[in-house]
Amino acid sequence: MRISSRFMLYGIIFFAFFDLFAQLPIMSTFAVSVGASSFIAGFSIAVYSLTNTFGNVLSGIWTDRKGPRLVLITGLFLTSLSLLSYQFVDTPGMLLFVRCVHGFMAGLIVPAAFTLSANITATDRQGKKVAITGSFVGLAAIIGPAFSGIVASATSPPTVFLFVSLFGWVTLLVTVASMRNDRLMPVKPEVDEGSTRPDPRVIRAYWGAFFLMFSQGALAFLLPLHVQALGYDSRLSGTLLSLFGVVAVLFFLLPTNRLFDHFSPTKLTAIGVGIIGTSQVLIGQADVQSVLYGVLAIYGVGFAILFPAINTLLIQSTSLQNRGKAYGAFYAFFSLGTVAGSSFLSGLPISITHQFTLTGMILWGASLLFGIRSLK
């Protein structure tokens, strides 16, 4: 594959996550502006992740059968088209329909992109390359919310989706022009005469993805409420989340990314889950702005360790013949974790501090299990 195609792949990943993160600050207010109740507003956020799950699974199956290039081009086209649909939303019912379509179409992109990235990277450099890829996810997490907040305040939420759609069309055109079919065609499946049982590392990668996004869902739900309860301006929540993203990106890009090629990914998964679990507990205890910044920086380190570790686990335990399907399920667990993290906690009749503590304890338990597995 040509070098320009490698950078194009990073651009596709950035667009996919930019699309996701740009929605976060504006979705609930947009829903209310078209007449949605608070329940429908919340459901409009969750339904995107739910339908995204089905798109992830289909993308994985389709990638193994047809190759990632076709899936990427189709996903970019349909996602960019669905983003234009927000211009016509004027009722809660129309909003939910568009959210379902958008979530499903966007779900086609990421598994195919990460499958292609894994397939063109040497085995002994997978950890470092995944870390570099993760830096583009982190950049999207930093730039996306800030961009949408600024544009929406100056214009309207549909305008944000219009700009993201234009970004998608440009990405699609450049992809078609630069990403050729050579080395991107699907590999003919080989007959496996061995056991049909899945590799245990695949299961660990799935659960690692679930717990990472369970934590993210909890953080997105609880942090703004915690900051508000402490009497700080709501802008502090955005700044804190940006700080965690900045720390993660630095960890991905600096020489610290070399550790992913030198240590067991299962062990790193245990460490990463443990760090974000500890951070969740500390956030709930923090009542000073400077302490919150420090804890979110630690959270960023945990995220930066965990994301490449679980990707490396998945890559090492799959082959060219089944990696697409595995990545489809992997990102389905991502989506399910996000829904579980926010919806599970929102239904508990306990204080915000206790919800942070409970989240941390769940993650500690997961970290312990990963740690035990790493010893085997």
The string of pLDDT tens digits covering residues 195-243 is 456 688 889 999 999 999 899 888 877 888 888 888 887 678 778 878 8
The most confident of the ranges 7-21, 157-171, 338-352 is 157-171
Asked if residue 223 is part of any domain, the answer here is: yes
CATH number at residue 288: 1.20.1250.20
For residue 263, what are the domain limits? 197-376
Whether residue 205 sits in one domain with residue 171: no
| Rounded Cα distance, 276 and 291, in Å | 15
The string of pLDDT tens digits covering residues 102-157 is 999 999 999 998 888 777 665 555 556 677 787 888 888 888 888 887 888 888 88
DSSP code at position 137: H
Spatial contact of 200 and 126, defined as CB atoms under 8 Å apart: no
What the block records as the tokens of 140 is: 């999207």
The most confident of the ranges 127-141, 151-165, 174-188, 249-263 is 151-165
Whether residue 249 sits in one domain with residue 162: no
DSSP code at position 185: S
Asked if residue 291 is part of any domain, the answer here is: yes
The string of pLDDT tens digits covering residues 4-52 is 567 788 899 999 999 988 887 788 778 888 998 877 877 887 788 889 9
| CA trace torsion 302, 303, 309, 315 (10° rounding) | 180
| Rounded Cα distance, 299 and 241, in Å | 10
One-letter amino acid for residue 279 of the chain: S
What the block records as the tokens of 376 is: 């085997």
Residue 272 Ramachandran class (φ > 0 left, ψ -120 to 50 alpha, else beta):
alpha
Asked if residue 67 is part of any domain, the answer here is: yes
The pLDDT value recorded for residue 42 is: 72
The pLDDT value recorded for residue 193 is: 44
| Pick from 241, 351, 346: nearest CA to 292 | 241
Its pTM stands at: 0.80
